[in-house]
Amino acid sequence: MMRREQEARERELILQAEREAQERERQRRLQEQREKDRLEAIRREQERLERERQDAERRERERGEAERRERELLAAKEAARLRREKERIEEEQRERERLEQERLERERRERERREAIERERLRQLEEQKERDALLELERIAAERRAQRELEERRAREREALERETEMLREQERLEAEKPIRREQERLERERQDAERRERERGEAERRERELLAAKEAARMRREKERIEEEQRERERLEQERLERERRERERREAIERERLRQLEEQKERDALLELERIAAERRAQRELEERRAREREALERETEMLREQERLEAEKRERERLDEERRLAELKELERRNAAQRDAERREAAEREAARRRDDRRSRERLDLIVKEREDREKWEMEKKRLLAEREAAERKRKDLTSRETLERLTRKPYYSRENLSGPEVTTKVERQVIERVDRTLYTSDGQPITTTSYFTGGGSSTNPPLEHYSGDDLIERDRLFQSRNDDLRDSKRAGRYRSRVEKDRARRDFFSADSSQNGESIDL
């Protein structure tokens, strides 16, 4: 009955252990599923961040392309305006030259001097604009370099974050590969740094080449303009020389014609009468007055036309100035909106980065909490197993000590023999003495063996006298041999007694060892 109960308890413990193992397996699978879900969430978050980064890069490229188109449009508008301004100036210059050809030489020279000053101012303005354009190119290159460095720093931060996440995930699995991993990471960082330095060096060389090309183009353009200006100056001087020669010829011809006319008139005056001279004088006077009136009217019309033309030009310049100011205001407003949009995008990117970091920190905290809970659960399981094992051992010892079989074994008469007392267990001094006395065969000097089946208790017996009755010579000459008692040991009664003796000794030792272990644990506690 006790055995069946013990077997039932053992089966129950086995079933409980199997249930606990199944529960642990279910918890492990649940933990693995949670870990897979967490890794999937991390992967989706990384993909989302990658998509956001690509979208930000695309928007940045589109913004840069829009800014580049705006700059090209502004440059084209500025070039067109300068071209129109130059054409207008050249038209005005040609008009002034045409008007000034009819004026005095002094006014023409003064006008040409002012034109030369104006051309020099325009040339200086062009040079200043070229310098401003070069400075703008350098500023744009610096901004692009700063933007590229910012993107590289963000890329390094993302790579560092990814490496950190990867290290957190694979820390236990790659514990033995840390030196190789660190060496690989160091080589990878060195390779990335070398590539980055190579890119920066190539970009710097490209910018230097572009800057040198721009400077060379500006120098060639200025040289070409200087040569063209010198050519135009030579042509202008040549035209002036030809014009002076033409005017000199016309003047001499006019002088000659006037001299001939005067000679003819003198002949006519000599030939005409005094009346005709008077009529001629009156007619000349009247023609002179009419000519002067026409000249005054023509001069007034010309003055009015010039005044009207100057007014129209002033209005045109005023409209162009207002249009230019309006365009500049629109461009400034557009630049302000673009700057506000860039600031908003940067703030959004910073907020997304902060949110991503908070999510990563929360993920790490959740991972640490899960690991801690798993460790606490394992510790609790181990402690529960230990307590159950101790409780079962104590219960088993208690039941074994108080069972009917144990009490029967303890109440049996002891049976001592060489076999059941010379086992691997601890043997007392009394038991060793009993072993020496039991089943001993003595051979005396007459050659007759004395066999005894009793054991010596110290006082001697009728069958086996004490050792004091033997003399020293007898003890020296006597050889002691043991006689086998296999026949007696094969008896079932004696075998049962032997087993009961062994079980009793084992139960006693278990009882005392259990008490000592419990006392030691209570002391430790």
Which residue has better confidence, 177 or 44?
44
**Stretch 447-460: mean pLDDT, rounded?**
42
Number of domains in the chain: 5
Give percent of the chain with pLDDT exceeding 70: 74
Same domain, 301 and 362: yes
Of 7-21, 143-157, 185-199, 457-471, the range with the lowest mean pLDDT is: 457-471
One domain, residues 476 and 388 = no
Specify the pTM: 0.21
**Does the pLDDT value for residue 468 go beyond 50?**
no
Same domain, 299 and 233: no
For residue 288, is pLDDT > 60? yes
Domain interval for residue 233: 199-271
Q: Is residue 130 part of a domain?
A: no
Say how far residue 149 (Cα) sits from the centre of its chain.
13
Q: Domain check: are 314 and 383 in the same one?
A: yes
Among candidate residues 382, 402, 422, the one where a domain is terminated: 402
Would you state the pLDDT for residue 270? 73
Residues 284, 299: Cα–Cα separation, whole Å: 22
d(CA 329, CA 63): 20
Query: Mean pLDDT, the chain, as a whole number?
Result: 73
Cβ-defined contacts of 467-473 (< 8 Å, 24+): none
If asked whether residues 334 and 241 sit together in one domain, one would say no
Summarised one tens digit per residue, pLDDT across range 315-364 is 888 888 888 788 777 877 887 888 788 788 888 888 888 888 888 777 77
Looking at the fold, whether 367 and 304 belong to one and the same domain comes out as yes
Structural domain includes residue 473: yes
H-helix or E-strand containing 330? helix 274-402
Q: Is the pLDDT of residue 521 over 50?
A: no
Strands 449-451 and 480-482, bridge-based pairing: unpaired
391 and 428 housed in the same domain: no
Least confident of 4-13, 196-205, 317-326, 407-416: 407-416
Residue 99 has pLDDT above 50, yes or no: yes
Residues 376 and 328 in one domain: yes
Domain boundary, last residue among 271, 293, 322: 271
What's the pLDDT score for residue 420?
A: 52
Residues 6+ apart with CB under 8 A from 152: 196
Whether 276 maps to a domain, the answer reads no
Q: Is the pLDDT of residue 66 over 50?
A: yes
Of 404 and 53, more confident:
53
pLDDT, one tens digit per residue, over 355-409 is 888 887 777 787 788 888 888 888 888 988 888 888 888 888 777 777 677 777 7
Q: What is the pLDDT of residue 166?
A: 75
Residues 368, 296 share a domain = yes
pLDDT of residue 491: 47
Q: What is the pLDDT of residue 175?
A: 64
Q: Is the pLDDT of residue 434 over 80?
A: no
191 within some domain: no
Are 362 and 421 within one domain? no
Domain end marker among 345, 372, 402: 402
DSSP 8-state symbol, 469: G
* 468, part of any domain: yes
Together in a domain, 289 and 395:
yes
